[in-house]
Amino acid sequence: MGQPYPPSRSARGRRPLGGLRRGLAVVAGLLALTGGLVAVGPRASAAGLTQVTGFGTNPGNLTMHAYVPDGLATGAPLVVALHGCTQSASDYYAKSGWPKFADRYGFALVLPQTTSANNSNSCFNWFDSADSTRGQGEALSIRQMVDKAVSLYGSDPRRVYITGLSAGAGMTADMLAAYPDVFAGGSIDSGLPAYCATSVSAAYTCMYSPPNKTPAQWGDLVRSAAPAGTTAWPRVAIWQGTSDTTVAPANATELRDQWTNVWGIGQAPTRTESLSGDTTLSEYADASGKPAVRVYSVSGMAHGLAVDPGSGPEQCGATGTYYLDTICSSYHTARFWGLDGGGGGQTPGGLPAPAGLTVGGTTDTSVSLSWTAVTGASSYEVYRGGARVGTTTSASYTDAGLATATTYAYTVAAVDTAGAVGAVSSPVSATTTGHPPTCSTANNYQHVAAGRAYQSGGQTYATGSGQAMGLYNTFVTHTLKQTAPGYYVVADAGC
């Protein structure tokens, strides 16, 4: 993880960061880097880290890597882990400790990776609104990876979590703000408040001396990034070393202010606890008494991810550059989210998963679903690609407004009379009908030879529409758009 220091700054072990998006030197590359156990022993797994392709349009130019324990059950949680600057998915996989708990607790792990093609230091561009805003750039690529994982592994779309280190932590904060409907929880390790910076110069300020905004001002940045009307927010863990000179410890305070304000709770902890590794836990509970925000302050730790190599149940990871031997942050974060079954995170209600989810029919723009009714259900939530798209009181639902000739993954869950959402069903896939518009530019002779056009009396006409295209020869060129099987229209003005 190259550090985001300006050339004028120097310190032991530091080197100038350089890394602006798409090649300009951007110091802000980020941050330069940017209880009781369930009675289930660690499971040996022959699985390994693999690359997954075809996860979407990928506007952020990222690659997707995944680790899935052998025999992973349908409906298991999903954790997304973002590396720091100069790191990679495989590096984070090998040293962060997350695979150990994926095996122990049973969840899929997705590790997005950026490269020097995006940022010269291979940092996630947390400070660039073109990459950190909902529906854009790297943020959308990560969202598409979640959809792909839910479809491939049958992950529970209500138990998706995200964590990251340094630059990855900055992007994690942005993702939690932009996609609170996707992530049930997050962990920001040596990171910054969501949308603290939207430029390289502002990134410097955030890293070394974050703005002292009020909790409401920080909270407003999250609320303005989230979908309008959002009322449910992710539970957030904040990890910070007190001797971090790359990302000032004051960032942890601003992060606390931001997320407690979003939750509508105060900035005084409801309890504190001393943990191993000279770590102090400060907890902030919601109105029901459940922890909503936790701050883990590691005394004397510099910039990096807290790990604790060893085979003990609370140990994990491996030391290395920006992997610091203090305490296993992954273990404590997993338990905070409830991945150990201890109830710390958002877990399903008591109703079973609906059985028999099937696709009843499709049109060019809709998919009809049905399933077996669940006793005790007052309604059902329907999820497309991991995101809730509708609620119904019957055991059927039609999802409309879809793209033509596109495949979607669906799951459904029952809701009891108290509003608790039960276990999610096994996924099904459905493909809308119609023909995806495709375009071809060629001369008239080539169009006719390919069947996209025909000739009559020395003139050329588009197949299906019959639109005139001029002389039948190699000197006249057109673009034809196929809008249905065997039907083409002239699209010279743009396709």
Please give the pLDDT value at position 386: 63
Residue with tokens 């290395």: 320
Residue 17 in domain: no
CATH of the domain at 112: 3.40.50.1820
Q: What is the pTM of this model?
A: 0.68
Within a domain: 11: no
By the 8 A CB rule, do 84 and 322 touch? yes
pLDDT at 37 over 70: no
Domain range for residue 460?
438-490
- Tell whether 415 and 451 lie within a shared domain: no
DSSP conformation letters of 387-447: EEEEEESSSEEEE-SPPTT-EEEEEEEEE-TTS-EEEEPPPEEEE--S---EEEEEEHHHH
pLDDT at 403 over 80: yes
Please report whether residue 132 resides in a domain. Answer: yes
Residue 349: the pLDDT is: 57
Q: Which of 166, 190, 329, 370 is catalytic?
A: 166
Q: Please indicate whether residue 413 or residue 36 has the higher confidence score (pLDDT).
A: 413
- Quick one: pLDDT band at residue 7, thresholds 50, 70, 90? very low
Lowest mean pLDDT among 22-26, 62-66, 198-202, 360-364: 22-26
285-307 pLDDT, tens digit each: 988 788 999 999 999 999 999 99
Q: Look at residue 344 and tell me if it is in a domain.
A: no
The residue among 440, 447, 491 whose CA lies nearest residue 471 is 447
**Cβ(112)–Cβ(82) under 8 Å?**
yes
Lowest mean pLDDT among 56-70, 207-221, 280-294, 348-362: 348-362
| 1: in domain | no
Q: CATH code at 378?
A: 2.60.40.10
- When pLDDT is cut at 50, 70 and 90, the band that residue 189 belongs to is very high
Same domain, 317 and 399: no
- Same domain for 305 and 393: no
Min mean pLDDT across 96-100, 409-413, 455-459 is at: 409-413
Provide the pLDDT confidence category of residue 69 given band limits of 50, 70 and 90: very high
| Averaged pLDDT, 319-324 | 96
294 & 395 share domain: no
3 domain residue, yes or no: no
pLDDT of residue 2: 41
pLDDT in tens, 83-110: 999 999 999 999 999 999 999 999 999 9
412 and 454 together in one domain: no
Our count of domains for the chain comes to 3
With 0-12 / 13-18 / 19 or more C-beta atoms within 10 angstroms meaning exposed / middle / buried, residue 129 is middle
Q: What percent of the chain has pLDDT over 90?
A: 70
Question: CB–CB of 96/330 below 8 Å?
Answer: yes
Q: 284-293, 329-338, 410-419, 438-447 — which is least confidently predicted?
A: 410-419
Percent of the chain with pLDDT over 70: 88
- Based on the fold, state whether residues 403 and 443 are members of the same structural domain: no
Residue 302 neighbours by CB under 8 Å, 6+ apart: 241, 243, 244, 245, 246, 324
- Nearest-10 crossing angle of helices 215-225, 167-178: 70
Q: Has residue 56 been placed in a domain?
A: yes
Mean pLDDT throughout 357-380? 93
Among candidate residues 275, 306, 336, the one where a domain is terminated: 336
Of 413, 431, 449, which closes a domain?
431
Whether 93 and 183 share a structural domain: yes
> Are 140 and 278 within one domain?
yes
Q: What does pLDDT average to over the chain? A: 87
Residues 324 and 387 in one domain: no
Tell whether the model's pLDDT for residue 71 goes beyond 80: yes
Give burial (CB, 10 Å; 0-12/13-18/19+) of 436. exposed
Q: Which two tokens stand for residue 226?
A: 């989230």
Query: End of a domain among 288, 306, 336?
Result: 336
Is 166 marked active-site?
A: yes
Residue 172 inside a domain? The answer is: yes
Give pLDDT tens digits for 339-363.
887 555 444 456 888 999 999 999 9
Render pLDDT for 135-187 as a digit per residue (tens, 0 to 9): 999 999 999 999 999 999 999 999 999 999 999 999 999 999 999 999 999 99
| Separation in Å, CA 412 to CA 8, 184, 358, 381 | 56, 17, 11, 6
Residues 40 and 151 in one domain: yes
Indicate whether 164 and 72 sit together in one domain.
yes
Co-location of 124 and 225 in the same domain: yes
Burial of 208 (0-12, 13-18, 19+ CB in 10 A): middle
Listed in sequence order, the DSSP H helices in 264-345 are 329-336
Residue 62 pLDDT exceeds 60: yes
